[in-house]
Every structure is written in C-alpha cells, then in structure tokens.
Amino acid sequence: MKPKNMLLTLDTCLEQEKTGRKTGLLVTALMNGLMLVLSLPFMDWIQLVNIPKLFAKLGITREAAGSLYSSYSIFSLLGFVKNSGKGVFGLYAMLLLILLVATWYLELLYIWKVCRNSKGDDGKGELHTYVIGKASTLLTALLVFGSYGFVLYSNNVVKMKGFSGSWILAVELILALAAYGLIKRMEAKERIRCHEHGLIKEFQKNWVLFLMLIPLCVFFLINSYLPMIGIYFAFVNFNFSDGLWASPFVGLKNFEFLFQSQMGRLIRNTVLYNVVFIGLGNVLQIFFAILISQLTVKWFKKTGQTLMFMPYFVSYVMLKVMVYSLMEYQYGAINNMIRSSGGTAIDFYNTPVYWPFLITLFYMWKSVGYGMVIYLATIMGIDNELYEAAKVDGANIFKRILYITLPQIKPTFIILLIYSLGSIMKGNFELFYQTVGNNGLLYDVTDILDTYVYRITVGQPLSIGLGSAAGLFQSIFGFVVVMVTNWAIKKKDSEYALF
C-alpha cells in the first residue's frame, strides 16, 4: 500500500468515534515506543567530527583520548564530559540527561495508560491520557532541540565544528511532531464530545485568576527552581579560579567519597532519630491535644496551651546553655544534686549511652507544643453535635475519643506524616550541633549526616561538592520515601493520599 493511501486509511479510521479513538491511541503509543527505543543508551545522538583537532583544542591528552568514543548518546554524554575533564559542557549535558529521564517516564506512562485503557467508552478517561501524551511528545521535541543546541554551543566553545547531530535526531523530531498532531486532534474531538474545554478557553474564561498566579510562579521560580542549578556543585571538583561552569567535572566522585566515609553509621543515626521523632512526636502531640481539648476550665486550658507552646520559641543556643548548666560534670545542677545525696557524679559528655535518650527528650520538649497546636485546631473544628449524640447514646469520654476524635484527626495525621517522612534523611542540625558540638566521644550515637557534612565543609573550604552531594542524596531519599508512602496510602484509601 502506498504511503498516501495508508494516510488516507488512517485518517478515515480516526474519523470514526470509538474505533478512531482506539486506533489513534494505539498508533501514538507505538510512536512513543519507537521514540523511547531511539533514545535508549545504545542510540548515539551526538557525534564527534575532526576528532584529532577537537582533542587538541580541548587539551585532551593521548592517555585520556583512549577512553573517549566518536559518538555518544544522551545517557553517555556525561561520560565524555568526565573523561575529557571539561566541566564547561557538564551542566548542559546534565540538563539533557534529566530531560531524557523525564521523557522516558512520560512515554512509558502514556504507553501504560493506553494499554490499560480501563475507563470504558465515555472518553473522559482518555483526556488525562492525551495530556500525558502531549507532554511526552513535547518533551521529546524539546530534548531534540536541546541536543542540537548542545552541538551549536559546543562548537561555539571550541571555535570549530567538532560536534554534530546524528540522523536519529531528525527521526525523533518527526515522530514527536506527528504523534503530537494526532493526539491533539483526538483530544479536540473528545473535549467537544465530553463538553470540556481546553487550557486556552479556560484561560480566556478565568484570566484574572491566572493573572493572580503570576507573582506566585515568579516567587517559586526565583527562590525554589533557579537555585536548583546549584545541584551541579555535587558533580564537579569546584575551585574559585574556574568557577562553577568550568570546574572539572568528576561525575559521581563526590558521592563515592560520601559512601566511603562511615555512611552506614550516619544513615543509621539520621533515620533512627527521625523515626523516633516522627513516631513518638505525633503520639505525644495527639495525646496533649486531646488532653487540653477536654479541659473545661477556660483559664487553665489557655495556660496549659501556652506553657506547652512556649518551648518552641526557645533558641537552640539557649537550649545549649541550659543543657550544659544541667549536665556539666563538675558544676552541673544534676551532678550537684547527685553528689549532695551521696551518689557518684555522671560524666554525661564522655558517656555516649545517655545521649540518644537525652536528644529525644530535648526534641520532644521543644517541638511537641507546636504540633499539638495543629492537632488541637483540628479537634476544635470537629462538629460538637457528634459528641452530643455520642453522649446521648451513652458513650463515655474514652469511647468518644476513640470513635470520634481519632478518626476525625486521621487526615491531618496522614498529611503531617507524609511531609515529615520527606525529611527523614535530614537531621535537626541545630539540635545535634548545639547540644553535642564537636565532642568526638559522642559521634557514634549522635553524629548525623548534616553534622558530618558541616564538619567536612568547615575543615575543607573547597569541599562544596561534598555538601551538595549530601544534600542531593537527602532530597532524593526523601522524595522516594514520600512517593512510596503516598502510593501505599493511596492503595489503602485514596481519600487520604496527598496526590
């Protein structure tokens, strides 16, 4: 069959309602699959030309040239940057790799959605699938243009034609644009059939609301997203003479150093402390919130709430002074009391066994009041008629708490739990550093990832990459924990899931 006849047949098929939708989804899924295959690591998108002259321009030695190739995929492009030692290409190559991973995710998600296709024939289920498909094709096109941009940028840096794009880029771009056109056409028909309008009509209808979002978007762009470029510190051996962009690219070397340096102990301490802080903290916060909510004397209730909340405002520097005044071996208040009663003084600062309990105690004293206020606000919002009806039915106070209060605060607990788990690899640096300081005798039970990285960066001013690597590791670990937790909650009861 001629290509023209094939296109006419496909166009006729797409005009049909049910068959056209399924055919279009299948065709675009196959196109996404082909784009995915063409972007796999064994498909080279970037080629090196005039190699001897290029290596001479870059100052690459003959020994280093032995580990380089004549063509690279997006996935292996960072290998060229690392082996060549030229960090000036590193950020661009890393952005392309991040974009590639995002493209893979959306392409696989679109293919999975099409194969699953369990929404029936109402078409509304496919609208979300179309959005994913458009996003995957647009990201693929952006990745192709970014690859061409890398070629132009690199040639401009070396002042010669040393890089070129392979034929795969053109094929990938054609597939992306064709798939986008098909998906856009199917989506338009579905929106008409389902009486739903797209983004442009939504903007025309609610342009004032979109306008109000601009300051918020600008705020997050400047304060949250642009600083993320600093992640690149984690992959370079930073020095001030070359700056961030020209510093030698070292790949995962900073991460290797971290994992070779007592990482097991640091992860163990950080995670275990946070598990105790989150678990015991929420239990105590809920307990005191319920306790205060049951008080009937107004002034006593306000006083108790204030006293519970006040430690939150005590600075960690003041906490350090208080702890030292209590636990110092020679003049500390606790040891003075022990001596006055005929006992033997305890050398707290040279005895590690006490500190896991002490740090937990200090954290609870300082933070329980803040969390208690959140739960108390939730309890105060519970309809009082529920309690009145339970009283009429003969429920005592414990049953009212068990069957009314606790179920009502469950959504708040789950949301706070998910947010807390996102920081499970980030220790409370101020608490640990101010109470323990640089006491090496206590490191085995009190040293966490944050305090360890702080000591490294203070002792070695040029080890910025190590600190960035540690921060990136913490963020990725927390992100994975949040995603897994949210998935588990969604499987159990989607009503309580965060997203």
Choose between 69 and 174: higher pLDDT.
174
Residue 20 has pLDDT above 70, yes or no: no
Model pLDDT for residues 415-434, shown as the tens digit of each residue:
899 889 888 888 889 999 99
User: What does DSSP assign to residue 249?
Assistant: B
Q: What is the pLDDT of residue 269?
A: 93
The pLDDT of 195-209, averaged and rounded, is: 77
The pLDDT of 176-202, averaged and rounded, is: 80
Model pLDDT for residues 252-264, shown as the tens digit of each residue:
888 887 777 778 8
CB 3 within 8 A of CB 178: no
Q: What is the pLDDT of residue 128?
A: 80
Residue 394 pLDDT grade (very low, low, confident, very high; cuts 50, 70, 90): confident
Residue 14 has pLDDT above 60, yes or no: no
CB 425 within 8 A of CB 477: yes
Helix H or strand E encompassing 325:
helix 316-327
DSSP output for 366-403: HHHHHHHHHHHHHHHTS-HHHHHHHHHTT--HHHHIII
The pLDDT of 181-185, averaged and rounded, is: 88
DSSP output for 310-322: GGGGS-HHHHHHH
Report which residue type is found at 44. D
Of the chain, the percentage scoring pLDDT greater than 70 comes to 90
Domain residue extents for the chain: 3-196, 261-496
Q: What is the pLDDT of residue 336?
A: 92
Residue 7 has pLDDT above 70, yes or no: no
Model pLDDT for residues 119-159, shown as the tens digit of each residue:
444 455 577 888 899 999 999 999 999 999 999 988 888 88
Give burial (CB, 10 Å; 0-12/13-18/19+) of 176.
buried
Query: Could you give the CA distance from residue 368 to residue 288 in angstroms, rounded to a whole number?
Result: 9
Any idea which of 3-17, 86-100, 113-127, 137-151 has the lowest mean pLDDT? Answer: 3-17
Choose between 29 and 191: higher pLDDT.
29
The pLDDT of 353-364, averaged and rounded, is: 94
CA distances 145 to 152, 345, 462, Å, are: 11, 71, 35
Q: What is the pLDDT of residue 89?
A: 78
The pLDDT of 454-462, averaged and rounded, is: 72
Query: Between 1.20.1070.10, 3.40.50.720, 1.10.3720.10, 3.40.1410.10, what CATH number should domain 261-496 receive?
Result: 1.10.3720.10
The pLDDT of 295-303, averaged and rounded, is: 87
Choose between 2 and 91: higher pLDDT.
91
